[in-house]
């Protein structure tokens, strides 16, 4: 490559990187806004419609059911329609769902609006990271995952703040409807994005793929290299379903991904995300304080995510998960105990809020970002789309069940007992992490795949081969040959 052609190429790819970053930011932000917005709106919805806790639980949780459905069809849609059109569809549903929620005349319509929103999020949360992985340069792919999670937390915080500001008027319709604005921005952003060159090549549309790569890379050598690399990758077709049926080792990684996402949801994080004001109400706070404390929860969630970003490649995945689960078990256990004993004085109130924040730090510095990272690292290449699809789908189903069951649990077994239950789950996860979770820090994805397929125990699939181990080399050679 000549020096003169290198300069424009660098400029071009910088523009492309900025574009994909903006997209990542918007998709993650949408995800977070929708998770966060219902916390502050629900008490006003309940008063306005005069509904009981069961109906309210459905309004809160049906969105996650929609997201599970959206994630389920997203794989098929994004391979048929393309990544860009699937994201456009997601964005349109997102705007439509937000408006419908804002104007809903009855609880039933509100439930439909939340379901539509969920489908939008399911589509976007599957397709946007896929698009990013296909378009973003290799060097920033890791950063993209962290950035995506960070934007989710920023979205949650933004929704908590907007709810707090609007809570003085109690205007829940505006709280839900205003999210159509970032949705419209996402739609606009996606409309200007090029289609993924990988998808175009999958469909045999090479001239269009070259045009896109011309915009992204801007120089002929780089374009030719990229085209031949993509074609090389496409020689390994995805056949996850078949592989799942035939290969017991692959089934282990799929189940591990599913388990990891169940663990993430059963930490109880979303109980706090959806019902924080209700929990603060149980501590004796008035509406205004409930809203402000919820906003503080959102802020702590954002800030603690930086701890994970800073530590994940230094300390490794497992130590961070251990610390996180211990902190979460203690945090929730103590909050539950305080609720049980009775929170009466200001000092007791502050201490209990403080311990809830400790729990949030525990999640945001560990299971929040790390479970997503692990789920994308443990799947072998041929089954990666299928494996990640299964774990993402599980995330939403578990998320739905957590949202749906919290208020019934609260009303039947009590607030302290419900929190103790989640604290106990976190304690169990310390053991499961030891027993089943691999350490994947500093290991290539190919090595993880080789260990998995050689039948190593799950918690060892991240081990590097001993340089002198000829047995291991022999095994690797056999794997490569098969």
The residue ranges that bind ligand BGC (CB under 6 A) are 35, 149, 152-153, 156, 264, 269-270, 273, 301, 368, 395, 399
Residue with Cβ nearer ligand BGC (43 or 153): 153
CB 463 within 8 A of CB 264: no
Residue nearest to ligand BGC as judged by C-beta position: 368
State the minimum distance, in angstroms, from the CB of residue 257 to ligand BGC. Answer: 13
CB 74 within 8 A of CB 54: no
Listed residue (444, 440, 447) closest to 473, CA to CA: 447
Spatial distance between the Cα atoms of 100 and 331, rounded to a whole number of angstroms: 38
Residue with Cβ nearer ligand BGC (339 or 364): 364
Residue with Cβ nearer ligand BGC (159 or 338): 159
Largest CA distance in the chain: 74
Listed residue (259, 460, 257, 251) closest to 377, CA to CA: 257
CB 97 within 8 A of CB 117: yes
State the minimum distance, in angstroms, from the CB of residue 389 to ligand BGC. Answer: 15
C-alpha neighbours within 13 Å on the C-beta side of residue 369: 33
State the minimum distance, in angstroms, from the CB of residue 233 to ligand BGC. Answer: 28
State the minimum distance, in angstroms, from the CB of residue 295 to ligand BGC. Answer: 14
Residue with Cβ nearer ligand BGC (262 or 339): 262
CB 234 within 8 A of CB 201: yes
Spatial distance between the Cα atoms of 42 and 291, rounded to a whole number of angstroms: 12
Residue with Cβ nearer ligand BGC (61 or 264): 264
State the minimum distance, in angstroms, from the CB of residue 35 to ligand BGC. Answer: 5
Residue with Cβ nearer ligand BGC (209 or 360): 360
State the minimum distance, in angstroms, from the CB of residue 265 to ligand BGC. Answer: 6
State the minimum distance, in angstroms, from the CB of residue 144 to ligand BGC. Answer: 15
Spatial distance between the Cα atoms of 306 and 262, rounded to a whole number of angstroms: 23
Residue with Cβ nearer ligand BGC (20 or 272): 272
149 contact partners, CB below 8 Å, separation of at least 6: 28, 305, 308, 368, 369, 372
Q: 378 in helix, strand or coil?
A: coil
């Amino acid at each position: 490559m000549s020096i003169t052609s290198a300069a424009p190429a660098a400029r071009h790819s910088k523009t492309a990187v900025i574009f994909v970053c903006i997209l990542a930011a918007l998709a993650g932000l949408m995800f977070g806004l929708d998770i966060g917005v219902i916390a502050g709106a629900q008490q006003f919805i309940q008063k306005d419609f005069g509904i009981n806790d069961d109906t309210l639980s459905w309004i809160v949780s049906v969105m996650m059911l929609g997201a599970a459905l959206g994630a389920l069809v997203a794989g098929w849609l994004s391979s048929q329609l393309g990544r860009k059109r699937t994201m456009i569809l997601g964005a349109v549903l997102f705007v439509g769902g937000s408006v419908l929620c804002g104007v809903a005349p009855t609880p039933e319509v509100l439930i439909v609006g939340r379901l539509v929103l969920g489908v939008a999020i399911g589509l976007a949360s599957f397709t946007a990271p896929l698009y990013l992985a296909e378009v973003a340069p290799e060097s920033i792919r890791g950063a993209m995952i962290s950035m995506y999670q960070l934007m989710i937390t920023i979205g949650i915080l933004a929704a908590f703040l907007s709810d707090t500001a609007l809570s003085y008027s109690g205007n829940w319709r505006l709280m839900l409807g205003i999210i159509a604005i970032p949705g419209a921005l996402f739609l606009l952003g996606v409309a200007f994005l090029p289609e993924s060159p990988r998808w175009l090549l999958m469909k045999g549309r090479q001239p269009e793929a070259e045009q896109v790569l011309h915009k992204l890379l801007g120089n002929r050598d780089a374009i030719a290299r990229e085209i031949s690399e993509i074609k090389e990758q496409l020689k390994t077709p995805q056949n996850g379903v078949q592989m799942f049926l035939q290969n017991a080792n692959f089934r282990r990684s799929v189940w591990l991904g599913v388990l990891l996402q169940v663990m993430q949801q059963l930490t109880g994080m979303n109980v706090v995300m959806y019902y924080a004001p209700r929990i603060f109400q149980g501590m004796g706070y008035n509406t205004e304080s409930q809203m402000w404390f919820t906003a503080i929860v959102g802020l702590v969630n954002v800030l603690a995510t930086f701890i994970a970003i800073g530590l994940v490649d230094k300390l490794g995945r497992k130590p961070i998960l251990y610390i996180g689960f211990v902190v979460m078990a203690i945090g929730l256990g103590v909050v539950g105990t305080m609720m049980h004993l009775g929170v009466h004085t200001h000092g007791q109130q502050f201490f209990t809020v403080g311990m809830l924040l400790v729990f949030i730090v525990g999640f945001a510095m560990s299971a929040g970002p790390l479970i997503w990272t692990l789920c994308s690292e443990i799947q072998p290449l041929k089954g990666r789309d299928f494996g990640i699809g299964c774990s993402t789908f599980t995330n939403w189903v578990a998320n739905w069940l957590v949202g749906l069951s919290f208020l019934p649990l609260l009303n039947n077994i009590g607030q302290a007992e419900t929190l103790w239950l989640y604290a106990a789950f976190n304690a169990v996860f310390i053991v499961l992490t030891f027993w089943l979770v691999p350490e994947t820090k500093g290991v290539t994805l190919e090595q993880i795949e080789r260990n998995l397929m050689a039948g190593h125990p799950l918690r060892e699939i991240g081990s590097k081969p001993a340089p002198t181990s000829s047995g291991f080399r022999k095994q690797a050679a056999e794997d490569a040959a098969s």
